[in-house]
Amino acid sequence: MRYRFSRAVLAAGVAFLATVPAHATDLEVTHWWTSGGEAAAVAEFAKAFDATGNKWVDGAIAGSGDTARPVMISRITGGDPMGATQFNHGRQAEELVQEGLMRDFTELAAKENWTGLINPPTLLQNCTLDGKIYCVPVNIHSWQWIWLSNKAFADAGVPVPKNWDEFVAAGPALEKAGKIPLAMGKQAWQQSGALNVLMAAIVGPETFLKVYKDKSADVAGGPEIAKVFKAADDARKLAAKSNVQNWNEATAMVIGGQAGGQIMGDWAQGEFQVAGQVAGKDYTCLPGLGLNAVIATGGDAFYFPKLDDPEKSKAQEALASVLMSKEAQVAFNLKKGSLPVRGDVDLTTANDCMKKGLEILAAGKTMQWTDELISPDTTQQMNDLMSEFFSTPSLTAEAAQARFAEIIGAAD
């Protein structure tokens, strides 16, 4: 049994034959995946890694990246690094790489043809600095969704909207029926996330990139983005009575039919699944808010600090191969509810909404997202601005947009 399982994993990466150590090497892996579904997903990686004859030592720290990241950075700079660690790919680990603290996997990537396998290619680009590959992307999460409660709209006697504009128009009817039109948690990342989703949907990826990639303060302060802030103003009014903090409490309101909809990433899907709801029947999902069905491909990646111990370095390579292997990718992503990074895997068991995402992905309608484009520092300033905007009705859309343009102008 054990033998057969190993073989299956081995088949995924040929390079790996040479790197399997003769005896078990412990490799500590830190991450912040601690909820039920997440832990089940990460267990798939651990199982596959253990099957190579090594041992996955789990270093989970809950409370999202904000609790875990100081630990990871302190350990790496303190000279006691772990074997591998999760980061959101993008710009979070940039400086650790520049300092030469992280291991480069260019060779392994070439041997296993990561460039050919990983879809969309931007995922690998985010791991690349000066032509060298420093991380292994493991999944794709997209933000650009609105989740609608079919029950809430039935109760209000209006049809389920097909896009954001219809949703806004249905707001008064929902309110009349005693519903909260838009459920939204009162945490800054959810509010600025909603703004970005609105932006991508309303003005399209091109203008979005002008703002976040070219950091054009003119565009950010211009008439196109004014439409986005107008929409954010609508969202603010629709969500005025939403009285929850966490995103999953907001999702619960959609599931229960007390709220019409929620703008949230595809991780919300797990909540609907747990509640036994069926996509299309109990709830509806609109990628790109039904306006612009383009999804961004953020997600998680693993980084590997440089280690002195050659045994452990070998084990790191083995882990990198496992993370990229077909079997581990499928097993992990089905549990996590995210999309796999390899273009060549088949997710027949995926549900309707997940399939919608896969189709968009296959059609190549993807875009870069803020994690990759702006620094965490700028993200933080955005978050602060949007949380103020959503909690302060007296802050007008115009004034908020002016401050937004200022932040973009100063961004690095």
Partner 1 sequence: MADRTRPSGLFKNVNAKIASIPMILTALCVFLGGTLWTVVYSFTDSKLLPRLRFVGLDQYERLWSAPRWLVSIENLAVYGVLSLILSLVIGFVLAALLDQKIRFENTFRTIFLYPFALSFVVTGLVWQWILNPQFGIQHIVRSLGFESFTFDPLYNADIVMYGILIAGLWQGTGLVMCLMLAGLRGIDEDIWKAARVDGIPMWKTYLFIVIPMMRPVFITTLVIITSGIVKLYDLVVAQTGGGPGNASEVPAKYVYEFMFRAQNLGQGFAASTMMLLSVAIIIIPWAYLEFGGKRRG
Partner 2 sequence: MASPAVFASSAGVEPHGPRPRRAISRRNVIVYGTLLVVAIYYLLPLYVMVVTSLKGMPEIRLGNIFSPPVEITFEPWVKAWATACTGLNCDGLSRGFWNSVRITVPSVIISIAIASVNGYALANWRFKGSETFFAILIFGAFIPYQVMLYPIVIILREIGLYGSLWGLVIVHCIFGMPILTLLFRNYFTSVPEELFKAARVDGAGFWGIYLKIMLPMSLPIFVVALIIQITGIWNDFLFGVVYTRPDTYPMTVQLNNIVNSVQGVKEYNVNMAATLLTGLVPLVIYFISGKLFVRGIAAGAVKG
Q: Which residues bind partner 2 (CB under 8 A)?
A: 28, 30-31, 33-39, 42-43, 46, 56-64, 67, 70-71, 74-75, 77-80, 246-248, 267, 270-271, 274
Within the chain, how many helices (H) and strands (E) appear?
Answer: 21, 13
Task: Provide the 10 A C-beta neighbour count for residue 23.
Answer: 7
Number of Cβ within a 10 Å radius of residue 5: 14
Nearer to partner 1, 101 or 173 (CB): 101
Interaction partner, residue 35 (partner 2, partner 1, none; CB < 5-8 Å by kind):
partner 2
What is the distance between the alpha carbons of residues 359 and 365, in angstroms, rounded to a whole number? Answer: 9
CB of 73 to partner 2, least distance (A): 9
Cβ 94 to partner 1 shortest distance, Å = 7
Output the DSSP codes for 55-104: EEEEEE--SHHHHHHHHHHHHHHTT---SEEEEETTTTTHHHHHTT-B--
- Residue 37 or 204: the one with the smaller Cβ distance to partner 2 is 37
In this structure, which long-range contacts are made by residues 91-98, counting pairs with CB atoms below 8 Å and at least 24 apart in sequence? 91/371, 91/372, 91/374, 91/375, 91/376, 92/65, 92/371, 92/376, 93/134, 93/135, 93/303, 94/129, 96/303, 96/305, 97/129, 97/134, 97/303, 98/129
CB of 363: closest distance to partner 2 in angstroms?
Answer: 29
Binding partner 1 (rule: CB under 8 A), the pick from 15, 40, 43, 73 is: 73
| Binding partner at 391 among partner 2, partner 1, none, C-beta below 5 to 8 Å by kind | partner 1
Q: Which of 399, 386, 365, 357 is nearest to 204 (CA)?
A: 365
Selected range binding partner 1 among 90-98, 193-201, 210-218, 304-312, rule: CB under 8 A = 90-98
Stretch that binds partner 1, among 41-49, 265-273, 303-311, 390-398 (CB under 8 A): 390-398
Per 3-state DSSP, what percentage of the chain is helix, strand, and coil (rounded to 5)?
55, 15, 30
* Residue 384 binds which entry of partner 1, partner 2, none, CB below 5-8 Å type-dependent: partner 1
Give how many residues touch partner 1 by CB under 8 A.
29
Q: Going residue by residue from 317 to 356, which x/- string records binding to partner 1, judged by CB under 8 A?
A: ----------------------------------------
Q: Which residues bind partner 1 (CB under 8 A)?
A: 65-66, 69-70, 73, 77, 92-96, 99, 186-188, 243, 245, 375-377, 379-381, 384, 387-388, 390-392
